[in-house]
Chains A and B, each alone.
Chain A
Amino acid sequence: MHAGKTVTIVPTGTANLASVAAAFARLGAVAHIAADRREIERAEYLVLPGVGAFAAAMDELGALGLIEPLRERLVDGRPALAICLGMQVLLDESEESPGVSGLGIVTAKATRITSPAVRVPHLGWSNVVPAPKADGGGGVVVEGFAYFAHSFRIAAPLTRSPAADALGNWSLGVADHGGDFVASMQRGGLLACQFHPELSGAWGSALLSRWLAQLAAAEHIVKGGA
């Protein structure tokens, strides 16, 4: 379905790279692990996966010299997918690792799930609902059950708060686990998911396919208009 497309995976040290690569392979794309910063700059489709701790992931990216190339790549709106901890490192910081700076693409902070009413980590399938966006523009995330595995999250922003302003031009998906949180956020070609699309069954596979297809369509329009 997506034959000929190449997905470049950023090696964040401890992520479940095999699951991510297999999910894209099932869609017909070729997935490989980036060996150096030039591959990050040139990648057609970039994936920033992540499991483990915030500080460990940032340390690994720093040690590989990938922080600046990633920042440049992620702000320009070209196709990129950040998964789970990969989404959290897009932020300024996380309660998980006080004093450690994230990539700073989004002015927000990940905080621990503290509700005594739910189990932590949030492990399992929860419903994701796309939030209505003021300008009517939607993303590739549709309503459905997604698989989550995390203890920290971006609490859903209250309207007219600084956090809401920071997320104002993103298409959001929201889920609930002891309170609403940001399950997904998309701006241009950059899609970030707190859940694991590569582990979310047919729903997740369809989402990855739409992400690849939407961006292919967008590229076509750009090329056609040039």
Chain B
Amino acid sequence: MPAARVIPCLDVRDGRVVKGVQFQNLRDAGSPVEQAALYEAQGADELVMLDVSATVEGRRAALATVHAIRQVLSIPLTVGGGVRTVEDASAMLSAGADKIGVNTAAVKDPQLLTRLADKFGAQCIVIAIDAAAHVNRAWRVVVRSGEERTPLDAVAWATEATQRGAGEILLTSVDRDGTHSGYDLPLLRAVSQAVRVPVIASGGAANPGHLIEAVHAGADAVLAASIFHDSVFTISQVKIQLREAGIRIRS
């Protein structure tokens, strides 16, 4: 078993880091390049950058941001947000991404996952799934940055996405995102038991205990944003607590 990964996430809009609650009320949280370098120095195992720009200019800025981060970063960089075609993915990889996250575009066009995996390999393709609680321990897939609820069952979609070529799942609970109430553990258990690929838990982390719970519920990696941005905990503090809880981490 590889070490459990701790992954800070940078939501980037027009070249700046932003953070909101349940995808709303975005506020400025600093320079992405400075944040990336700081996180690596603190022991981050990987970095995720989500481009939440809404405009063509914003997307162009995201490519420049990826390139700038790459110059300082010697750990893996996953980039998501606005990837709709093989060409979009190719541009992100050329700019310096190592993995590509796809979300809404894959729900609208599941074949996209196969085209991406055929071109870049499954290990390069992360399916980002935003899930919202439905009824009876079931979750529905939400797209368009949390705005559009689909009839798709999140666990079934996770399974289908990996069969179509995704090599990793970034699983975000939109109910928990930004609420600091911990990951949605039943959702995490359901998805990690249903698939063979690694699962990254996301949405709701506020303290090291939440990250420990997620690993015990089956997460291979834990993603968090605000607790690291706001320096509530440093990544090194969190990793020490994971190790003290008996979880194998990269030393």
Give A residues with C-beta under 8 Å from B: 14, 16-19, 22-23, 25-26, 51-53, 56, 85, 118-126, 145, 147-151, 177, 196, 198-202, 204-205
Report the Cα distance A38→B67, complex, angstroms: 29
Stretch from B27-35, B94-102, B134-142 contacting the other chain: B94-102
Which residue of chain A is the closest to B70 with respect to CB atoms? A22
Which residue of chain A is the closest to B249 with respect to CB atoms? A125
**Contact flags B65-94 to A (C-beta < 8 A → 1, else 0):** 001001101111100000000000000011
The residues of A that contact B67 with a CB separation of less than 8 Å are 18
Q: How far is the CB of B198 from chain A (nearest CB, A)?
A: 5
Report the Cα distance A121→B168, complex, angstroms: 8
Report the Cα distance A16→B73, complex, angstroms: 13
A16-B98, A18-B93, A124-B221 as given contacts; A53 in contact with B118, CB under 8 Å: yes
A125 adjacent to B96 (CB under 8 Å): no
User: Known contacts A145-B3, A151-B123, A151-B167; can you find 6 more A-B pairs with CB under 8 A?
Assistant: A14-B93, A16-B96, A19-B96, A22-B96, A147-B75, A148-B2
| Closest 4 pairs between A and B when the two form their complex, measured CB to CB | A124-B2, A18-B96, A149-B123, A52-B121
The residues of B that contact A26 with a CB separation of less than 8 Å are 71, 74
Which residue of chain B is the closest to A145 with respect to CB atoms? B250
Give B residues with C-beta under 8 Å from A: 1-3, 5, 40, 45-46, 67, 70-71, 73-77, 93-99, 118-124, 167-168, 196-198, 220-221, 250-251
In the complex, which of the residues A18, A147, A151 has the most CB atoms of chain B within 10 Å of its own CB atom? A18
Report the Cα distance A125→B221, complex, angstroms: 11
B76 adjacent to A199 (CB under 8 Å): yes
Q: How far is the CB of B189 from chain A (nearest CB, A)?
A: 15
Q: How far is the CB of B68 from chain A (nearest CB, A)?
A: 11
A16-B98, A53-B118, A126-B3 as given contacts; A121 in contact with B123, CB under 8 Å: yes
The residues of A that contact B70 with a CB separation of less than 8 Å are 18-19, 22
- Residue in contact with A147 in the complex, picked from B76, B93, B121, CB distance below 8 Å: B76
Report the Cα distance A196→B119, complex, angstroms: 19
The residues of B that contact A199 with a CB separation of less than 8 Å are 74-76, 98
The residues of B that contact A17 with a CB separation of less than 8 Å are 94
